Amino acid sequence: MKAPEIYAYLLYGMEALYGEGRLLLITILIAAIALDWITGIAAAHLGGRQALEYGKLGVLRTLFILLLPMFSKLLDTMLSMPGLFFYAVTIGLIYRVWQSITANAYHAGWDRWIPRLVIQHIEAELKAKAEQVFIKDNCKKEEDLY
């Protein structure tokens, strides 16, 4: 099978799952997920064992993020909508993954490449991620004492 044939099958599959003419938005979502994985692995490497345990659910989260736009497309089809749910959900997911990318990059020590305005914008996400990953582990250590 040649590269153009593989591309044609992938394009057909993507359009069947997400709808015709939506390849650009899904490609942006996939690129954002890839960046999130890269920055998440870098942050986990610095965060140690606790962050790695948190990251084990990343595969399930990725599947959820990729399937939710497909589900939204099905809702649009069922309700004869022109893509309202699909676009709202997919753009919302891209925004949320972007916040995660930025928080992961910050925790990986790459914050010098992130504009301060962006860090201020996602400050709540930074705090939540730090609490979720690192404070949970401290609670487990305290439980082990009893």
Domains of the chain by residue range: 3-145
Read off the tokens for 112. Answer: 């010098």
Mean pLDDT, to the nearest integer, of 64-85? 96
Q: How far apart are CA 80 and CA 55, in angstroms?
A: 38
* Average per-residue pLDDT for the chain: 84
Q: Given a cut of 80, is residue 144 above it in pLDDT?
A: no
Q: Residue 54: which of 144, 137, 145, 126 has the closest Cα?
A: 137
Q: Which amino acid is it at 134?
A: F
Residue 53: pLDDT band with limits 50, 70, 90: low
Q: How far apart are CA 66 and CA 88, in angstroms?
A: 14
Q: Which amino acid is it at 49?
A: R
Q: What is the pLDDT of residue 134?
A: 53
Residue 43: pLDDT band with limits 50, 70, 90: confident
Give Cα separations from 57 to 53, 66, 95, 111, 139 (angstroms).
Answer: 8, 14, 20, 25, 19
Higher pLDDT, 113 or 30: 30
Higher pLDDT, 86 or 11: 86
The position carrying tokens 């591309």 is 7
Q: Given a cut of 90, is residue 27 above it in pLDDT?
A: yes
Mean pLDDT, to the nearest integer, of 97-118? 88
